[in-house]
């Protein structure tokens, strides 16, 4: 399946920007970097069609640029990443697990990067393009006002309406949750790029300006980057609890959804349900934050439980007559694709549960909603959570 077998060769390491799912922010430097495979380093092939100005720029990378490929405490921040991890697997830059199949979503991602060679990957990795959009949204998009979803704003209504419905449906304090988007167009904003480079890599003003200018030249000249709108740059969605980020202040609770993940599900035929399902899943993590269900636990068992629980929260809302009231048959069709993000890396701290377990959790959430259909009663989050915890051993047997 993989188009990018060319990328298997020399190995270089750089910190994958989103290494776990919806955990509280952490600067634990013990997080191991992922391994990225590339067939060449900073050598620009004579056949590469770029302008003399860009070729000259690439030849003048600041001394010590290789350190950008090393593990970095800031880049080890733990935020939602199952989608970003999936994109990296599609690029064949991190190892897949036995559950990673030849699914529609993987096939689509594979086609999007079929024209990426080693140089294209290297420039994106070392410059910061693969991380800057998502981190800019995390740190600096701290208001729901004027947010839009989709490159052409095509998902804005469904995402924002679903978010409002979720706030009314669940009995948690959700007014402080910010709904944000990740857009590739920030790769054209020099000031934002400079700011992100200085934060993530600790560069001087001069060095940060170099990388910002290089990124802007790359996205304008290299057609594979699609003028910054390639879905790989924004293939992410995550929930994040509030945290202090000096000197910039307090980062609020938020749900962040990238253009890339929406584009992907739309392309494979799920534009009618993906915005609602993704928003519902991420909102489920905020229920966990407010009920203190995570308590900073980082282990395969804790992550699996929290993900399966969020799947159940989402299915309950999506199918409930006073929630999204969607047809379960259609929701399940989407979830069968969505849950193929599940994995068999049972000993990995980011283990989300197998696809079968995730479907089982969602099926259970649907049945709880179906049993209450006549009464139209909405269970409090605390009661629903207690019921889920009682059902979890059965789900894990799947």
CB atoms within 10 A of CB 269: 13
Rounded distance, CA 198 to CA 200, Å? 6
Partners of residue 244 on adjacent β-strands: 250
Number of domains present in the structure of the chain: 1
Closest CA to 352 of 42, 31, 100, 29: 100
- What per-residue confidence (pLDDT) applies to 137? 95
| Contact residues for 185 (Cβ-Cβ < 8 A; gap 6+) | 228, 229
Closest CA to 285 of 31, 79, 65: 79
Angle, CA 281 vertex, CA 275 and CA 283 arms, to 5°: 95
- For 9-43, what is each residue's pLDDT tens digit? 222 222 223 323 443 443 332 223 333 343 333 44
| Contact residues for 152 (Cβ-Cβ < 8 A; gap 6+) | none
Domain range enclosing 281? 5-396
pLDDT in tens, the chain (398 residues): 333 332 322 222 222 233 234 434 433 322 233 333 433 334 455 556 889 999 999 999 998 888 887 755 455 554 445 655 656 555 555 555 555 556 788 889 889 999 998 899 889 989 999 999 999 999 999 999 999 999 999 999 999 999 999 999 999 999 999 999 999 999 999 999 999 999 999 999 999 999 999 999 999 999 999 999 999 999 999 999 999 999 999 999 999 999 999 999 999 999 999 999 999 999 999 999 999 998 766 777 888 899 999 999 999 999 999 999 999 999 988 888 877 654 545 444 444 678 889 999 999 999 999 988 777 899 999 999 999 999 999 999 87
- For 106-145, what is each residue's pLDDT tens digit? 889 889 999 998 899 889 989 999 999 999 999 999 999 9
DSSP codes joined into one string, 50-102: --HHHHHHHTTPPTTGGGGGS--TGGG-----HHHHHHHHHTTSS---TT--S
| Contact residues for 208 (Cβ-Cβ < 8 A; gap 6+) | 193, 194, 195, 197, 198, 201
Rounded distance, CA 383 to CA 43, Å? 59
């Amino acid at each position: 399946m993989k188009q990018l077998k060319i990328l298997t060769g020399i190995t270089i390491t750089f910190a994958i920007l989103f290494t776990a799912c919806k955990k509280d922010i952490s600067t634990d430097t013990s997080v191991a970097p992922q391994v990225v495979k590339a067939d060449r380093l900073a050598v620009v092939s004579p056949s590469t069609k770029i302008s003399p100005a860009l070729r000259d720029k690439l030849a003048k990378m600041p001394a010590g640029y290789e350190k950008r490929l090393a593990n970095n405490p800031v880049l080890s921040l733990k935020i939602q990443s199952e989608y970003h991890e999936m994109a990296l697997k599609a690029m064949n830059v991190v190892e897949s697990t036995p559950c990673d199949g030849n699914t529609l979503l993987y096939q689509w991602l594979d086609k999007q990067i079929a024209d990426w060679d080693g140089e294209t990957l290297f420039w994106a990795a070392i410059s910061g393009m693969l991380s800057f959009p998502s981190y800019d949204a995390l740190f600096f998009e701290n208001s729901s006002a004027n947010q839009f979803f989709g490159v052409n704003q095509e998902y804005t209504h469904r995402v924002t309406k679903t978010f409002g419905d979720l706030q009314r449906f669940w009995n948690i304090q959700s007014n402080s949750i910010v709904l944000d988007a990740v857009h590739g167009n920030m790769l054209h904003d020099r000031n934002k790029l400079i700011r992100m480079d200085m934060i993530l890599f600790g560069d001087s003003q001069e060095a940060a300006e170099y990388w910002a200018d290089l990124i802007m030249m790359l996205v304008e000249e290299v057609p594979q980057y699609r003028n910054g709108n390639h879905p790989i740059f924004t293939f992410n969605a995550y929930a994040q609890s509030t945290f202090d980020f000096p000197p910039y202040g307090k980062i609020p609770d938020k749900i962040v959804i990238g253009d890339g993940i929406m584009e992907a599900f739309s392309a494979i035929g799920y534009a009618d349900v993906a915005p609602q399902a993704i928003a519902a899943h991420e909102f489920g993590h905020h229920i966990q934050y407010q009920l203190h269900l995570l308590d900073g636990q980082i282990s395969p068992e804790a992550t699996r439980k929290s993900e399966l629980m969020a799947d159940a929260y989402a299915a309950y809302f999506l199918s409930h007559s006073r929630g999204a009231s969607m047809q379960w048959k259609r929701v399940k069709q989407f979830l069968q694709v969505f849950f193929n993000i599940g994995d068999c890396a049972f000993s990995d701290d980011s283990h989300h549960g197998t696809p079968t377990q995730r479907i089982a959790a969602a099926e259970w959430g649907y049945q709880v909603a179906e049993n209450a259909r006549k009464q139209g009663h909405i269970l409090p989050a605390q009661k629903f959570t207690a019921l889920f915890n009682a059902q979890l051993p059965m789900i894990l047997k799947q």
